[in-house]
Amino acid sequence: MRSTAAVPATSTDTTTVPPSASGDFGKVWLIGAGPGAADLITVRGARILAQADVVLHDALVTDDMLALCPQAIKILVGKRCGKLSTAQQFINKQMVDSAKKHALVVRLKGGDPMLFGRADEELRALELLGIEVEIIPGITAALAAAASSRQPLTKRGVSRSVAFFTSSTAPGEADQTTIPNCDTLVQYMGGREAATTAQRLLAQGRVSSTPVVVVENCSRDNERIFRLELGRLEGGLAQCEGPVLVMIGEALRERVRLMATGDSLDVDGDLERRDVA
């Protein structure tokens, strides 16, 4: 028998959790946790998380985020590039098994579920069995990184197009060698692939002085921001150990501005900021 989650009755909470269309399964919610900081999850996402019976969460979801659902059973289904990860088929099975036992199941994903989040595979597994599913978007890392670095991804007269891409591929698939042709490029999971990306862009004719902004551990307490040029990116990012986002393009060229205390204008690719408010 499935467990049922109590829904707090408040005059301001307009989010309701309807019963599942299928009597055999509970409802599954794919929720974007955002880039990392717990207070960057959406209000709706936090409300549903607080009602969940069970939460299947990514490895990058923080303890502060999980503190928003103290009532829930928490299951780590971590997937990290280059790390030992839970197989996607097993994650799909855990979602289905959880929906058989519980009324409200949350699949909590870093960033936004619909961008590099394997949502298609998970939706297919749930829809195949007629399990009701709903999606709550989250702030994707590219937008959070642009905010942290105070560098818009678009700029009038300079950048009218933005491409999000990753070089990571599914097991058994050939390496991704094409790079989008856009004014501003944002590479997800770019730590290990940054050097190869730089080499390919330089070979395509991008100038070595093209600005690059690298954000590690975006929005977290240990966030770090690096500024460098494409020619230097070719040497890799050995100094980065956490999740890395690489932003490339003329829109990322630093403005002449007065920096706040603790920040510095960086022309050598060294660390720009260490602290996140």
Region of residue 61 (left: phi > 0; alpha: psi -120 to 50; beta: else): beta
DSSP assigned state of 38: G
Residue 85: pLDDT band (50, 70, 90) is: low
Give the length of the chain. Answer: 277
Q: What are phi and psi of 229, to 5 degrees?
A: -115, 160
| Catalytic residue chosen out of the listed positions 65, 95, 189, 247 | 189
Where a domain ends, among 71, 104, 136? 136
Provide the CA 154 distance to its chain's centre, in angstroms. Answer: 20
Does 189 qualify as catalytic in the annotation? Answer: yes
Using the predicted structure, report yes or no on whether residue 129 has a pLDDT greater than 50: yes
Tell me what pLDDT residue 254 has: 87
Domain shared by 150 and 216, yes or no: yes
- Residues in CB range of 76: below 8 A, 6 or more apart: 57, 59, 86
Task: Of 86-90, 140-144, 239-243, give the range with the top mean pLDDT.
Answer: 140-144
CA distances 165 to 14, 116, 187, 229, Å, are 36, 9, 5, 19
CATH number, domain with residue 110: 3.40.1010.10
Q: Is 58 among the residues known to form the active site? A: yes
Domain count across the chain: 2
The residue segments making up the domain with residue 180 are 141-273
pLDDT of residue 151: 96
| Collapsed DSSP state (helix, strand, coil) of residue 274 | coil
- Categorize the per-residue pLDDT at 31 as very low, low, confident or very high, splitting at 50, 70 and 90: very high
Query: For every residue of 194-254, which 3-state class applies, written as one string?
Result: HHHHHHHHHHCCCCCCCEEEEEECCCCCCCEEEEEEHHHHCCCCCCCCCCEEEEECHHHCC
What CATH number is attached to the domain comprising 249? 3.30.950.10
79 included as an active-site residue? yes
Q: Do 153 and 97 lie in a common domain? A: no
* Predicted structure pTM score: 0.81
Q: Give a yes or no: residue 20 inside a domain.
A: no
User: How far apart, in whole angstroms, are the C-alpha atoms of residue 48 and residue 17?
Assistant: 8
Q: Is the dihedral of CA 88, 93, 96, 98 positive or negative?
A: negative
Same domain? For 208 and 185 the reply is yes
CA dist 224 and 240 (Å) reads 9
- pLDDT, tens digit (0-9, with 9 covering 90-100), for 162-203: 999 998 766 666 666 689 999 999 999 988 889 999 999 999
pLDDT digits (tens, 9 = 90+) for 258-276: 555 555 444 444 555 544 4
Does one domain contain both 196 and 116? no
Does residue 138 carry a pLDDT above 90?
yes
Pinpoint the alpha helices (H) of 79-215: 88-101, 119-128, 141-149, 194-203
* Candidates 27, 58, 109, 247; catalytic one: 58
Residue with tokens 């900021």: 273
Shared domain check, 265 and 147: yes
- Please give the average per-residue pLDDT across 139-156, as a whole number: 97
Cα dihedral across residues 240, 243, 246, 247: positive or negative: negative
Same domain as 153, residue 118 = no
| The pLDDT value given to residue 200 | 94
pLDDT at 213: 97
Q: What CA–CA distances, in Å, run from 190 to 34, 35, 67, 225?
A: 18, 15, 29, 14
Among the listed residues 53, 79, 95, 247, the single catalytic one is: 79
